[in-house]
């Protein structure tokens, strides 16, 4: 298939496909007429890249999965390098989750403090502030 058809089937643009070629993620095969030529395997590579990017993997992190598929494995995560990327991504996600938990705790503490202060606020000022959306 040609580049336009592959882009349409993969739900991307021809520009993206050319970019993937320059990054070595998509093979740059040419037909006799000079047009780029792709097959179902290339579509599978693009589906793998897209799925991983939807999960938050950057483009370079998809490389081991693409190479695994190119090596003939039925799944891009059947190779040791892909498993290592999964492990690294899980470690990264665990760190992000922990930071978010910490921020949530701090925001919760700030809210609790602010609510207590609001209870101690002089009535005329607080009533006006609440009505005006200042609190």
CA distance linking residue 45 with residue 69, whole number of Å: 7
Mean pLDDT of the 58-79 span: 94
Could you read off the pLDDT of 13-64 as tens digits, one per residue?
Answer: 999 999 999 999 998 888 888 888 999 999 999 999 999 999 999 999 999 9
pTM of the model: 0.74
Q: Where are the alpha helices (DSSP H) in the chain?
A: 3-10, 14-22, 40-54, 63-70, 80-119, 123-132
């Amino acid at each position: 298939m040609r580049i336009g058809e592959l882009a349409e089937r993969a739900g991307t643009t021809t520009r993206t496909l050319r970019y993937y070629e320059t990054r070595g993620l998509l093979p740059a095969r040419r037909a006799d007429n000079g047009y780029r030529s792709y097959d179902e395997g290339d579509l599978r590579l693009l589906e793998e890249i897209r799925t991983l990017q939807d999960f938050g993997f950057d483009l370079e992190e998809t490389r081991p999965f693409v190479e695994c598929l190119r090596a003939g494995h039925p799944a891009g995560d059947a190779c040791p390098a892909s498993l290592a990327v999964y492990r690294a991504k899980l470690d990264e996600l665990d760190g992000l989750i922990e930071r978010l938990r910490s921020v949530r705790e701090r925001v919760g503490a700030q809210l609790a403090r602010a609510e207590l202060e609001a209870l101690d606020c002089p009535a005329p000022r607080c009533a006006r502030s609440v009505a005006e959306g200042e609190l």
